[in-house]
Amino acid sequence: MQAVHFGAGNIGKGFIGYLLNKTGYEVCFVDINEQMVDSFNKNNSYLIEILDDSHTVETISPVSALNSATQEEKVIEAIVNTDLITTSVGINNLSRIANIISKGLLKRIKENKKKIDIIANENAINASSTLQQEIERQVSNSEMNEICSFVGFPNSAIDRLALSKNSDEGEIALVEPFYEWIINQSEMVNVDLPLIKNALYVEDLRPYIERKLYMVNMAHATTAYIGFLAGESTIQSTLKNPKIERFVRETLKEASQYIIQKFNITSEDIRDFIEKTIKRFKNKNISDDILRVGRSPIRKLGHDERLIKPTRELFELGLSVEHLTVAIAAAFLFDNSNDEESVVLQNYMNEQGIEQAISHFTQIENMQILDKIKENFNRLKDSNGQIDLILEVN
């Protein structure tokens, strides 16, 4: 079996390519990193290191790679002949790969109309649907109708921390032992392929993808922003402070009420999930940089994003948002001169003031929530890194 995977980054190598290989696929990576492409083709393999107590190293083989910038025709040919297409390029880069995928699918119409699924594995809700829309922009209505007659765009939810390090063997993907790849089976069109090993197939993806975004991603960002204010450098060092761990746990408990109310998940299941999430974050074998986790604060403060949506929804339900509004305020204080969004955010606050900044970036209209975030912002700003003041919740 053949799979074409767009994106040879840490998630592509350490998660998607890893599980596809375990399922029996020969994976062809498509990327613009010439050095990475050459390494894959030279070695026909790559290494990943699992961040368990043994630091287990695994070899993933056979693999190959193509450069989408210089080998477009070969990428198109690979799309024509492959059994499965997957991506992990970042949600904002789906538009950049849509053109070459659409060309491959149009050629496939003429040469190989075997049904195929395209799974976009990005840190966003309904990424495959987003890719479908981007492809639609590249072709005519009649061409898109033909594409949709044999191509499925099943959405997925993915969860695995993936980092990297350089070694004598080249760049190695570093991944935590835990992973979760959940695929919406109802959106698939090719049911003849074997199920991807250790992936979970479901009929309704929403509970899983919202739980991941509004609990795991929310708590990860919260830890980063509180850790930044406390002068910590990693997620792991941040959570060594029992007061911060307790704060993050309480933030998770607040956000969990949104999931419980919306999807009727049991409180026991949610408690287990919170404990598992905290345990993952505290993994002593991982050094998860605060600046990496906190990057792109504007995106993370979006109206339907990890920090804001559960806060809005919970407030409307009359439930507690005391810890979440502190986390939101901390995000506005994430001041990293090497992060483009952080620079834009800080400049906007300096020019327009915090009140206008909160309203502008979160699009929250409820004045009670806005006032609560502003109050917490001013308190955090005056705390000078004193952890008791940072974590004080009214």
pLDDT in tens, 278-327: 999 999 999 999 999 999 999 999 999 999 999 999 999 999 999 999 99
Cα-flanking dihedrals φ and ψ of residue 377, to 5°?
Answer: -60, -50
169 and 26 part of one domain: yes
Tokens of 127: 């990424």
**167 and 261 within one domain:** no
Same domain for 300 and 182: no
Residues 32, 9 share a domain: yes
* pLDDT computed for residue 199 by the predictor: 97
Rounded Cα distance, 183 and 171, in Å = 29
Q: Which residues make beta-bridge pairs with 29?
A: 5, 65
Q: Give the pLDDT of residue 98.
A: 98
State the CATH number of the domain containing residue 249. Answer: 1.10.1040.10
**233 lies in the same domain as 167:** no
Separation of alpha carbons 383 and 138, rounded Å? 51
What's at 185, amino acid-wise?
Answer: Q
CATH number of the domain that residue 88 is part of: 3.40.50.720
Would you give per-residue pLDDT tens digits along the chain (394 residues)? 999 999 999 999 999 999 999 999 999 999 999 999 999 999 999 999 999 999 999 999 999 999 999 999 999 999 999 999 999 999 999 999 999 999 999 999 999 889 999 999 998 889 999 999 999 999 999 999 999 999 999 999 999 999 988 877 778 999 999 999 999 999 999 989 999 999 999 999 999 989 999 999 999 999 999 999 999 999 999 999 999 999 999 999 999 999 999 998 888 999 999 999 999 999 999 999 999 999 999 999 999 999 999 999 999 999 999 999 999 999 999 999 999 999 999 999 999 999 999 999 999 999 999 999 999 999 999 988 888 888 888 6
CA distance 347 to 311: 25
Q: ∠383-388-389 over CA atoms, to 5°?
A: 30
Query: Do 26 and 120 belong to one domain?
Result: yes
Question: If you search the block for the tokens 């659409």, which residue do you land on?
Answer: 102
Say if residue 22 is in the same domain as residue 105. Answer: yes
Amino acid identity of 358? Answer: I
Same domain, 125 and 267: no
Return the structure tokens found at 169: 């063997």
- The whole-number pLDDT of residue 393 equals 82
In terms of domains, do 163 and 238 share one? no
The pLDDT assigned to 304 comes to: 94
Q: Which of 167, 202, 237 is the last residue of a domain?
A: 202
Are 211 and 348 in the same domain?
yes
The domain boundary, picked from 186, 202, 218, lies at: 202
**7 and 144 both lie in a single domain:** yes
Range of the domain at 333: 206-390
What is the total count of domains within the chain? Answer: 2
Domain-ending residue, one of 181, 202, 223? 202
Same domain, 74 and 179: yes
